Amino acid sequence: MLSLANAFSKENIEDFLKKVKNFLNINDSQEIVFSAEPKIDGISASLKYIDGIFTLGLSRGDGKTGEDITNNLKTIKDIPKKITKPNFPKILDVRGEVYISKSDFKKIAKQFANPRNAAGGSLRQKNPNETKKIPLKFVAYGFGMVEPKNFDKQSQYLKLLKTWGFNTNSLNKLVSSIEEIEKNYKNIETQRSNIDYDLDGLVYKIDNLKLQNRLGFVSNSPRWAIAHKFSSEKGFSIIKNIEIQIGRTGALTPVAKIEPINIGGVVVSNATLHNEDEINRKDIRIGDTVCIQRAGDVIPQVLYVDKEKRNKNIQKFKFPNKCPSCGSKTIKEFNFSTKKKDAVTRCPDTKFNCKEILREKLKHFVSKEAMNIDGFGKKIIQNFWDLNLIRYPVDIFNLNFKKISTLDGWGELSASNLEKAIKKSQKISLDKLIFSIGIRHIGQENAKTLAKYFVNINKFKELFIEEKRKKILNYLIELDGIGETQINSLQTFFSNSANLNTVSNLIKRLNVSSFKTSKSGIFYGKTIMFTGGLSKMSRAEAKALVEKEGGKILGTTSKKLDYLVVGDSKPTTKKVDKAKQLNIKILDENSWYGLLNR
């Protein structure tokens, strides 16, 4: 159950549509039908039915593994426990949202901060009888595994859900143009305050499931869907102070500490100021009255300054030229793509010992996308850091839980639960480990590309050895998606003895599983590169197909290349000539489709 990419404007939706059409290689004039579905602000859940019996209910968790909340979900009247319809699939995972209506929440408002918190807390109850007391509802909108699949459109599936006894959203609608999308969006946003449940936007899913399948997924979201968030709510407050926060990559982010203000039911006391350029452009100063908005109902930010209310004695804010944590002189890196210096100011952390960066790396390490240590949030990291219990990732696996159970706010049960969560996280896949380490410029997609190359932890550890590292990096530069920026970052990271020591100690405490690739695909063990445009599919889709079928995509022509696929539209002559010199097999477009059996 992956999350969705977000859109905040008409332009964002146009960009999304353009990317979809480019991937599918279809004309701009061709319409694509979308299922537009209101995005209820609740808790996602997956219900597994086998032979019509509700057998397992899971929370979203980290997107791959969720918590078993079956008994709590069984207390919800909206969820059918047994379905006897003849057209119901033998196996079906029904995806949907658990929520509390606004009218029902009024009756229990004293117990919870908001309806979403109420729903989330109720589903985590150990005693289902307690959950039963909360007026939870369920609306179905998606599916996971389904056997057999007796529908080929999202809209067909939604209609079937109703016949099977599930609630679906009455505001679901099919749209097929930017104009229809905008009209529907504005219509529902206008009704928002009168609707009896919290909405934070609309979700657009490509209606045709064959097109969904072709588009597939990126690391943490589908290519065929997007969440269109409602416009932000705003309010005015006074900036009491501007603090500089340091991220795990050394980025210095200014944060406005403001007089607490309620915006859309949430009390806001901090707002991001992004970077030095943003402060200068908006001329933001301590003491200013500013307009705050919650962008996409999530991140509060300063929109503008009400300069009429400014005290004449207020001084301009001076951005620090030294890291507030370690005292290193800050830098703005040169961006080779834009040929300009970055707007972000950074601590270079040349000695890899900046305390703020170390702490933020720990927060990244335990996060859902990385090690996914359940219950080990930012506040606990901060608490343990302040108590000198942790400094490096391996320290997490050496914690004294008897000692923790005696700390303020802890007990034997909470300490035991944390210990179990940490032990559970010690079994991790190679790509997750690479991402967890927090190497600059190595995101989730890059981590997967690297894991696909290394396959197992022993091969990955060869990066620690200087002579072997040089050969490995020379090869990695040829991989599609790995450029000089990533190579330089890997070289810098693994050239540092402190980093090598940190990662080596960490690996000793983990059970790292090898990266799983398709061993039955038609391109298993093969390397492929593309040049020129293809007429029947985009290069992006072709690359995705190769990876799905077990192959690797290279970005440069070398002896390691098995196939060079030459498209009909504007192929690069140099690549073709070099492939001929190296006796690499060259496929024209027809041969490529023949290889795919298309």
Q: Which residues does the annotation mark as catalytic?
A: 39
Token pair 């000692």 is found at 403
Angle formed at CA 222 by CA 216 and CA 227, multiple of 5 degrees: 150
Q: Tell me the longest C-alpha to C-alpha distance in the chain.
A: 77
Angle formed at CA 169 by CA 165 and CA 174, multiple of 5 degrees: 115
Q: To the nearest 5 percent, what fractions of the chain are helix, strand and coil?
A: 35, 25, 40
H helices then E strands: how many in the chain?
Answer: 22, 22
Cβ neighbour number for residue 88 with a 10 Å cutoff: 17
**Beta strands 252-263 and 289-295, pairing class:** unpaired
Q: Measuring CA to CA, which residue among 502, 527, 507, 393 is closest to residue 452? A: 527
Task: Calculate the CA 246 to chain-centre distance.
Answer: 21
Structure-token pair, residue 121: 């807390």
Q: What is the dihedral of CA 125, 131, 134, 137, to 10 degrees?
A: 100
Token pair 């905008």 is found at 182
Task: Calculate the CA 78 to chain-centre distance.
Answer: 30
SS3 call for 214:
helix
* Cα 232 from Cα 422, distance rounded (Å): 38
Please, which residues have CB within 8 angstroms of residue 325's CB and are 6 or more apart in sequence?
A: 246, 347, 354, 355, 356, 357
Find out whether 233 and 297 touch, Cβ atoms under 8 Å: yes
* Cα 79 from Cα 138, distance rounded (Å): 7
Instruction: Give the C-alpha distances (Å, rounded to integers) separating 196 from 102, 375, 378.
Output: 5, 32, 33
Amino acid occupying residue 370: A
Please, which residues have CB within 8 angstroms of residue 72's CB and are 6 or more apart in sequence?
A: 57, 122, 123, 124, 125, 128, 131
